[in-house]
A and B are shown apart, each in its own frame.
Chain A
Amino acid sequence: MKYWLAVVTAIAALDVCAQDGSTTEALDWLKKIAASSRTISYSGTFVYQHGSRGETSRVVHYVNQAGGVFEKLETLDGPPREIVRANDHVTAYIPDTRVVLVERRSTRHLPVMLPENLSDLTQQYEVKKLEADRMGGYQCLWIAVMPKDKLRYGRKFCAELESGLPLRAQVFNEKMQVVESFGFSQLTLGGKFSRDQVASRYEGRAQTQKWRVDHSALNVLEQAADTGWSATNLPVGFRKSMELKRTIVGRPVAMPHLVYSDGLAAISVFVEPKGQLPAKALISQGAVHIYKRVLGDYLVTVLGEAPATTVMQIANSMELKTAGNAFPK
């Protein structure tokens, strides 16, 4: 009896080792995918699909010798729009409405795939290498990150073999339906680039025609910031990864911005004073759900790339512990 127990235990241990081996490899690929955005330059055309709709855009991504990342995205369907990114500054130009949205991300808070994020990830997801494929003339390998429960979406990335660039990224719901995907329909890796290629054609026009410019700013509180808000009943696997006070585009008053993450999916919570029209709404686009909820004198907006029920659960568990310094008088 003991002998058999030993054998079974030994086989089980071997099995675990085998799993760990391939999971480690898959995780290495995931790290490579995440790093690709900071290491290679590319340009191409991609399609953003959500539900039954698709939108094509052109993208140029340029990493200079100092490691600075510059990107430009311009839509090819529908009304023209451009998004330009220079390191931590993101600017969206919307010609139809003559609006410029400027978002400044703190490089301290860039969601790099840190080792601690990865260990969270393996608890909630199964990471696996799948088959090889070929897209746009490049060989790639599918990596699957599948959730162990229904609280999160699954992902698949086809990583270009040499650079790790995800040639296609898909988000799956619990029924294995694709809720959203980004895929290159045409791609050129590398090449010679210059800053001109990533400048917006609307920059000059925006100035001369005096488009409306809305800024946001990150105002990071020095300590592990205490906005006074907390979530009392987080979905399994999610924990707070950030707590900030910041302004967002178009809002003059700084507001709490809390972020909960399970290692791969992030859900943001914004809290503002309740406006004139208290509203509760669930709105969706592809993998993103946004849920607004009135809580006393505040309007809590929760959004993220997770199923609606998960977003709502976080919204419903938000609580104001103390006055904090969320809205200093």
Chain B
Amino acid sequence: MENVSTLMDGELGGDEAGREIIRLTADSSFRETWDTYHLIGDAIRGAAPVARGFGPRFSERLALEPTVLAPHTNVTRRFTHKAQTYALSAAASVAAVAVVGWMALNMLQPDEAGGPNAPAAQLAKAPVPAVVSQPQAVTASVTPAVMSQPQAVAASVAPVAAPVEHVQEYLLAHQGISPTTAIQGVTPYIRTVSSTGD
């Protein structure tokens, strides 16, 4: 995954870039990652097509979510490099001043029950704006760009902010049965209440 973002940012050297490009054409999961990152970047820059009504729905959801972005000079770069490396923090309730930093790809499209699915392909459709650090009021620079482009798009693609609340509860339950906890004691529980530390 890291190579995708470094390739996108033009940080790979000539030979390595060449190899990665060849891999990109051959490896469908690599390509999907590529697509995803580009879509995220596009969404941030306001260039991605979004579902009709996305803007108002998004702002509604955003109003419910206490999510803020840390001040950062290059928001796009933040998404491409940190796509998988945000920490979860205490996000116990909607009213909370919680800090949520899990990176999520989310779609509104429910599965057809029982059919074999290709989640990897479908993942390459959803940009995610929810990224936070300390609970200080910072304007989310992503939202205006996205909201100003409510264009019609195929109904199957409906990206929205990821409902990342309640992840803690599953994690807490999981850690109770995980061998990692047997081996390492209570220290892995830090994951349950981790914060971004930005």
- Residues of chain A touching chain B, judged by Cβ–Cβ distance below 8 Å, are 33-34, 37, 46, 48, 50-55, 57, 59, 61, 69, 71-73, 75, 77-79, 81, 83, 85, 90, 92, 94, 96-97, 99, 101, 103, 105, 109-113, 117, 157, 166, 169, 177, 182, 212, 214, 216, 242, 246, 248-251, 257, 259, 261, 263-266, 268, 270, 274, 277-286, 288, 290-291, 293-296, 301, 303-305, 309, 312, 315-316, 319
Q: Which residues does chain A contribute within 8 Å of B192, judged by CB atoms?
A: 83, 92, 101
Q: Give min CB distance, B150 to chain A, whole Å.
A: 19
Q: Which residues does chain A contribute within 8 Å of B90, judged by CB atoms?
A: 79, 81, 94, 96-97, 99
> Would B93 and A97 count as touching, CB distance under 8 A?
yes
A112 to B116, CA, bound (A): 35
Does B53 sit at the interface, judged by CB under 8 A?
Answer: no
Q: Give min CB distance, A324 to chain B, whole Å.
A: 16
The A-contacting residues of B in range 70-119, CB under 8 angstroms, are 82, 84-90, 92-93, 96-99, 102-111, 113-114, 116-117, 119
Does B176 sit at the interface, judged by CB under 8 A?
Answer: yes
Query: Which residue of B is nearest A299, CB measured?
Result: B110
> Would B177 and A266 count as touching, CB distance under 8 A?
yes
Name the interface size band of chain B. 35 or more
Q: Which residues does chain A contribute within 8 Å of B191, judged by CB atoms?
A: 48, 50, 285-286, 288
Partner of B169, one of A101, A263, A278, A316: A101
Can you list 5 pairs linking A and B with CB atoms under 8 Å apart?
A34-B182, A73-B186, A99-B92, A277-B163, A279-B107
> Would B87 and A73 count as touching, CB distance under 8 A?
no
Does B180 sit at the interface, judged by CB under 8 A?
Answer: yes
A97 to B96, CA, bound (A): 5
Does B9 sit at the interface, judged by CB under 8 A?
Answer: no
> Would A285 and B87 count as touching, CB distance under 8 A?
yes
> Would B162 and A283 count as touching, CB distance under 8 A?
yes
Q: Give min CB distance, A283 to chain B, whole Å.
A: 4
Q: Give min CB distance, A243 to chain B, whole Å.
A: 11
Q: Which residues does chain A contribute within 8 Å of B105, judged by CB atoms?
A: 281-283
Does B181 sit at the interface, judged by CB under 8 A?
Answer: yes
Question: Given A78-B195, A279-B107, A282-B105 in contact, is the A99-B93 Cβ separation under 8 Å?
Answer: yes
A251 to B120, CA, bound (A): 29
A-B CB contacts (within 8 Å), total count: 256
Question: Given A97-B98, A285-B102 in contact, is the A83-B92 Cβ separation under 8 Å?
Answer: no
Question: Given A50-B85, A55-B87 in contact, is the A283-B170 Cβ separation under 8 Å?
Answer: no
Query: Which residue of B is nearest A166, CB measured?
Result: B184
Partner of A283, one of B97, B102, B108: B102
> Would B172 and A37 count as touching, CB distance under 8 A?
no
Question: Given A77-B195, A288-B191 in contact, is the A169-B116 Cβ separation under 8 Å?
Answer: no
Query: Which residue of B is nearest A282, CB measured?
Result: B105
> Would B186 and A216 count as touching, CB distance under 8 A?
no
A37 to B92, CA, bound (A): 29
Question: Given A71-B186, A250-B169, A288-B171 in contact, is the A280-B111 Cβ separation under 8 Å?
Answer: yes
> Would A73 and B98 count as touching, CB distance under 8 A?
no
> Would A284 and B103 count as touching, CB distance under 8 A?
yes
A212 to B122, CA, bound (A): 38
Does B25 sit at the interface, judged by CB under 8 A?
Answer: no
Partner of B195, one of A55, A85, A263, A280: A55
Q: Which residues does chain A contribute within 8 Å of B86, judged by CB atoms?
A: 51, 53, 285
Q: Which residues does chain B contribute within 8 Å of A111, judged by CB atoms?
A: 177-179, 181-182
A12 to B92, CA, bound (A): 58
> Would A291 and B183 count as touching, CB distance under 8 A?
no
